[in-house]
Structure 1
Amino acid sequence: MLQFLKYLLFPFSLLYKGITSLRNLLFDIKILPSFEPPLPTIGVGNLTVGGTGKTPIIDYLISILSKQKIGVISRGYGRKTKGYISIDTNTSPEKVGDEPFMLSRMNPEANFFVCENRVVGYSKAVNAVKDLEIVLFDDVFQHRYIKPKLNLLLCDYNRPFYDDYVLPTGMLRESRYGAKRADIVIVTKCPEAISGTQKNEIRGKIAPYCSKNIPIYFASFKSQIPNNSENTLLDPHSKVVLISGLANNSGFRKGLEKDFNILKHFEFKDHHNFKKSELQLIISEFTDYNFVCSEKDFVKIKPLLSSLELPKFFVSRQKVELFEEESFKKLILAVL
């Protein structure tokens, strides 16, 4: 049935592919303009709809560029506002989006902005913070009106773009050959024990869609032991209830199920805006147990909890572990 549906949708994929390919051609031959910022800039994006790990990679880039004055510009997906906003202590996830809000709280030394139009966002950001040294663009691969000096394309190990198809048959935002615009490819969510042979096989499948000799790196996302507002670590193998509103809820569960006894997983759509009533209903059903959520979800859940409920919520954070890290750092720092 699923295969039949794919065949049924294939003509729409051809139409969508044609439209996106024409748009890319107009940028390539400079009929549509691309602005190249004078400051060092790095763009992070993907070809695939859904989570390939852009937010953890942005967080990782901030950590390796920590000696620089950093600006981060996002669209602010899921926010209830429009236009340019500089994120400060008075903003909220509803105002700027859950992911930019979360990153700003994790990295108070960096400067965060949201704007649908990245060219406008860049212009206003550099005027607001005069001494910015580098700007990171989150989810910008298809936003071709701006051209970062370095384009990082993320490819999910579990859903590689080279095995996928354009919407609606598959999950690609554009043709696989859009990868030619990438300066670096990072294969994310790899198993920690990935072998050299596996890496070479993946490189061989990515290479036909990219520029010649493009650097291809591999990264694993390791779930840290969840902790709560009192900085208490969750006991291994304890019984827990998961709450998540992510692009890949099953991946969130998979990262925790080997270490904890999961009683139930409440799954919501990505960027879900939690309501106090639904949380109270969940808490009342599992009064004797602890809850685990992602950092992105916790920034929206926390304001809805009472002082007694807060310590029962543990946050699972992901750490990026990049293979060949030193080589990658040298490439990134060369942009400066």
Structure 2
Amino acid sequence: MKMLRYILFPIVPVYYLVTWLRNKLYDLGIKKSKSYNFPVICVGNLSVGGTGKTPMIEYLISLLKNDHKLATLSRGYKRKTKGFQLANQTSSVETVGDEPFQFYNKFGKDILVAVDSDRQNGIKNLEKENSDVVLLDDAYQHRKVKAGLNILLTTYANPFYRDFVLPTGNLREPKKGVNRANIIVVTKCPENLLDDDKIQIVKRINPNEKQHVFFSSIKYSEEVISINKTVKLKELSSFTLVTGIANSKPLVDFLNEKNLKYQHLNFKDHHEFSKQEIESLKSKELIITTEKDFMRLKQYESLKEKLFYLPIEVVIDNHQKFDNIIKEFVSN
């Protein structure tokens, strides 16, 4: 795969020019963006792959759900439905996608969860539901909507400033796209990241005077959860780890630090499990997976008693400042 990316390097200037020109047309107002008279927050990234958008959306939900009629709006990647869908008790991964289904399972009593590849149409429908704050999931490049607040995520291990545009690198657009962000969060940092390291990263990001830079890390639970019970990690003798996410390394590192014994079945992001793969999983004694993959796998009756997920949450350095910026934005 790496060799193919190097071979495709001559295409990089073409991709760069096309994405740069598209953004320039929006910046100049030739292509139109729609603004809204209520708070719209976009969480996204410059790169393909996992930067931690889902736990960040969940952090924002927890922060705002008690004081607002909050809605999330996602594309609904790999769902089997079309157009606008509002999650309800009959929804599934097939109808709304895995991440929105996860939001609904966790917060469905407190918020609205919607999907629509046309974000303008999605927001219009959420206005009819009287939502007063909308969180846009993975919509940084969806410039037909002009969010009032843009939160850009970039990982500690693979920051945008060390990357190239597709197809040789992972960037969806040129690095200058960072200029649209109001908040930049360096995600998946080591818990003990030194202040000197943070200073050097901020220098490389080179934020303007209106941009805020924060650092976040992933906190894994000490327990795994199934449909009907909870078990402490330290009580597990051995298990099969099943992951279908963009980057499983942080999870694997965490489990290895715990000296846990397991077999790892690693699939691509948003993996759709085949009948053969489900049959193979039926033979496993205990399965630990991510919360997103749990949403896909829990529908199989044969796996319910052996299937658990490991919860995660995002921890933001200087979270009080971060929270205040968000709350101030939605209050104005």
TM-score by length of 2: 0.94
Q: Does 1:206 align with 2:205?
A: yes
> In the aligned structure 2, how far is the partner of 1:248 from the partner of 1:331?
29
Alpha-carbon distance in structure 2 between the residues aligned to 1:21 and 1:59: 31
Show the counterpart of 1:42: 41
Q: Output aligned runs, 1:302-317, within 5 Å.
A: 302-306=298-302, 309-317=303-311
Q: Report deviation, 1:314.
A: 1.5
Separation in structure 2 between the aligned mates of residue 81 and residue 280 of structure 1, nearest angstrom: 26
Q: How does 1:91-130 map to 2 (within 5 A)?
A: 91-108=91-108, 109-127=110-128, 129-130=129-130
In the alignment, structure 1 residue 300 sits paired with structure 2 residue 296: yes
Q: Is the 8 A contact 2:156 2:186 kept in 1?
A: yes
Do the aligned residues in 1 keep the contact of 2:182 with 2:210 (CA within 8 Å)?
no
Shift of 1:179: 0.2
Cα displacement (A) at 1:258: 1.8
C-alpha contact 1:243 1:266 (8 A) present in aligned 2: yes
Counterparts of residues 140-289 of structure 1 (less than 5 Å): 140-207=139-206, 210-224=207-221, 225-236=223-234, 238-284=237-283, 286-287=284-285
Distance 2:229 2:122 in 1: 36
Find the counterpart in structure 1 of residue 315 from structure 2: 321
Partner of 1:71: 71
- State the shift of 1:260 in Å: 4.8
Secondary structure of residue in 1 paired with 2:305: helix
Instruction: Give, as a single letter, the amino acid of the residue that structure 1 aligns with 2:229.
Output: N
Aligned residue-pair number: 326
Question: Alignment partner of 2:44: what SS?
Answer: strand
- Paired with 1:169 and 1:277, the residues of 2 have a C-alpha distance of 34
TM superposition shift of 1:41: 1.1
Deviation at 1:8, TM superposition (A): 3.2
Q: Which amino acid aligns with 2:79?
A: R
Secondary structure of 1:233 counterpart? strand
Q: Shift of residue 72 of structure 1?
A: 0.7
Structure 1 range deviating more: 7-16 or 62-71:
7-16
Q: Given residue 163 of structure 2, which amino acid in structure 1 is its aligned partner?
A: D
Distance 1:30 1:7 in 2: 35
Indicate if the aligned counterparts of 2:240 and 2:287 stay in contact, CA closer than 8 A: yes
Distance 2:172 2:320 in 1: 31
Indicate if the aligned counterparts of 1:73 and 1:115 stay in contact, CA closer than 8 A: yes
SS of structure 1 residue aligned to 2:299: helix
Contact residue 165 and residue 172 of structure 1 kept, 8 A: yes
Task: Provide the C-alpha distance between the structure 2 equivalents of 1:122 and 1:246, rounded to a whole number of angstroms.
Answer: 28
Q: CA deviation at 1:304?
A: 0.8
Q: Are 1:335 and 2:329 an aligned pair?
A: yes
Moved more, 102-111 or 14-23: 102-111
CA apart distance, 1:14: 0.8
Percent identity of the aligned residues? 38
Determine the C-alpha separation between the residues in 1 that align with 2:115 and 2:17.
30
How far apart, CA to CA, are the structure 2 residues paired with 1:85 and 1:320?
A: 28
**Aligned counterparts of 1:46 and 1:203: Cα–Cα separation in 2:** 17
Tell me the equivalent position of 1:83. 83
How much does 1:6 deviate?
5.1
In structure 2, give the amino acid aligned to 1:292: I
Letter in 1 for 2:266: E
Name the amino acid aligned to 2:215.
F
TM-score by length of 1: 0.93
**Shift in Å at residue 9 of structure 1?**
2.2
**Cα deviation, residue 7, structure 1:** 4.7
Contact 1:240 1:260 in 2 (8 A): no
* SS class of match (1:99): helix
Task: Give secondary structure in 2 for the equivalent of 1:187.
Answer: strand
Give me the whole-angstrom Cα distance separating, in 1, the residues matched to 2:254 and 2:100.
Answer: 23
Cα distance between partner residues in 2 of 1:138 and 1:72: 7
Distance in structure 1 (CA, Å) of the matches to 2:259 and 2:44: 32
Counterpart amino acid of 2:208?
S
SS of 1:30 mapped into structure 2: coil
3-state DSSP of counterpart to 1:327: helix
Structure 1, residues 19-77: CA drift from partner, whole Å, max 9, x if none?
A: 00000000000110000111111100000101101010000000111221101110001
Q: Which amino acid in structure 2 is aligned with residue 83 of structure 1?
A: G
Q: Distance in 2 between matches of 1:235 and 1:155?
A: 29
Unaligned runs of 5+ in 1: none
| CA RMSD of superposed structures (Å) | 1.6
